[in-house]
Structure 1
Amino acid sequence: MSAPLLCEGRVVVVTGAGRGLGRAHALAYAAEGARVVVNDLGVGLDGAPGPGSPAGQVVDEIRSAGGDAVAHGGDVATTEGAGSLVRAALETYGRLDTLVNNAGFLRDRMLVNLDEDDWDAVMRVHLKGHFLPLKHAASYWRAEAKAGRPPVARVVNTSSGAGLLGSVGQGNYSAAKAGIVGLTLVAAAELGRYGVQVNAIAPAARTRMTEGAFASMMAAPEGGGGFDAMAPENVSPLVVWLGSAASAGVTGRVFEAEGGRITVMEGWRAGPGVDKGARWTAAEAGDAAVKLLAGAEVPGAVYGAG
């Protein structure tokens, strides 16, 4: 007998699912039995509209493989677009079980050259584009719980190593991705009572967004047929598990996924400390800080530094 499908009967929304990681996630969920709402605005790397309908193409792929999917082309960084995304799931399939927030793009600049518009655009798509779908999905799940139909709901947010460690030339992107971690922690704490688990991933893979920034890491596998460690499909199995009922009890966590490696990321927590019991002078505070730093772990290097 074949193993049961991990997401049989679940309805999954994936944003930014026309290409790259989002496409890989959508296909992987469908392969595990989920009905998928494939969202993609169909824009370029800079956020400008692009030709064709990548969401529709992914839906065709899913259907040709025997799966069930529907396309959504709304802008999830708007209240109307995010609301219509959740409605698309409810009106098409009658329910929503999993939300995968993945949409994003880059406008990289060094800080002294970073325009306000570039800052706002990246914050809007990454951070607001996570918040609004989460808000609308959570409103539905809360209503279900209050009506006596507690959901087994899952949210998978997409952060980045840039949000955990920083990345030179990506101040806007790093700040947005760090904000997504904070949003994940708050959502996990607030929504658990309604049957909602919220986690985040920090993926590393070859996509349109990363191929320029990490060109040296994105080479094809050696030998012409080995394991392609940078394929986006490597990240999707963890995302599918986190979005399934099988991940019961896992919430408020951040996972790094790259190639065949999965790592639980451990964020800010109290390290060495000292309490004088009274106000410090500036010189005393400095002396104390130097002593504490001598016993503290050295932070990871910022990507691109040095």
Structure 2
Amino acid sequence: MITDSIAFLDLPDGRSLVGRGPFTPSAKPPQEGVAFYRNDFGLGAAEPWLVPDRWEIASHGEVASLIGMAGGSPACTWEAPEASDFSLVFQEISAAIRGGTFEKTVPVVVERGTLEEAPGHRLLATAAGSSGPLLGYGFSDGVSGFAGASPELLLSVTGGVLKTMALAGTARTEERDVLAVDEKEIREHEYVAQSLVAKLGDIGEVRRGPRGILQLGSIVHFHTPIEVDLTGEESPAQLLRRLHPTPALGPLPRTPETLRQLIGWRRRLGTPEDFGAPFGAIVDGDFHAIVAIRGLWWQDREVILPAGCGVIEASRLVNEWRELRLKREAVKARFGL
């Protein structure tokens, strides 16, 4: 039985950080060296920093061999999620939007499955080696864990420059031309982009790039790059609380009350606590964090596949249900499940 723990994160520069346990939890990052960052969606962990016993930097393509697992993902039997559970939450969200509490929020649906055998670190190895723009990530103790390939960089800080992105608005690849003129998807994306620019304006000079379309296999998303020349010292914890959750995964407006309400809906639908949360690492002072989406969470043979959708006033239940399935199918394809 595998008892050692492993974490990895693809960095934006083409390298990957691989750490091996035991991991030492800490409330603050180390002054030098390496630590991973793992927290829940509400950023409630008292000691989110995990200092590995040993670590190494490798290329994206070398991570799977460093993890040392081969053979692909175990076979999985899936149980389709109940549309009725999501429908009730969707109706509550729509009523809250009409009542003026939200402009946008992001419920999550999970699909559950049973693996043919316990995966050990194999799902971690499968998530490794992702090709850009996807960034692989994961943590496994050999019994439980999570792993995925996220398209969303929450933030990357190197040399006084912060990079982030707005990633919202989804369609099938064959509907790319339709997405480009879809008013509902454009509006959803602009909520995210404008909110990020507003949250970053008082810590430096913000540069917003043009809205484009990001190609991710069977899915396309609207994508807007954003950079900030930081004018002062901002700790990773300060930046994370400023940015997370963005309206791509969280409520708009983001207040303690709207965040609490969203977390309540997520829990009702069985969402893993750290789905959509930041997962990151600090490497000699540079900090990088992705949004933990497009992945799997597992315990022994039981596996959970979450997916979220942005709901605004123009959203329709059947369209959101279709988008959720599209995102889950992309994850299944990535893991060979």
* TM-score greater than 0.5 by the shorter chain: no
* TM-score computed with the length of structure 2 as normaliser: 0.26
Higher helix fraction: Structure 1 or Structure 2?
Answer: 1
* TM-score computed with the length of structure 1 as normaliser: 0.28
Higher CA-based Rg: 1
Specify which structure has the bigger relative contact order, considering alpha-carbon pairs within 8 angstroms and separated by 6 or more residues: 2
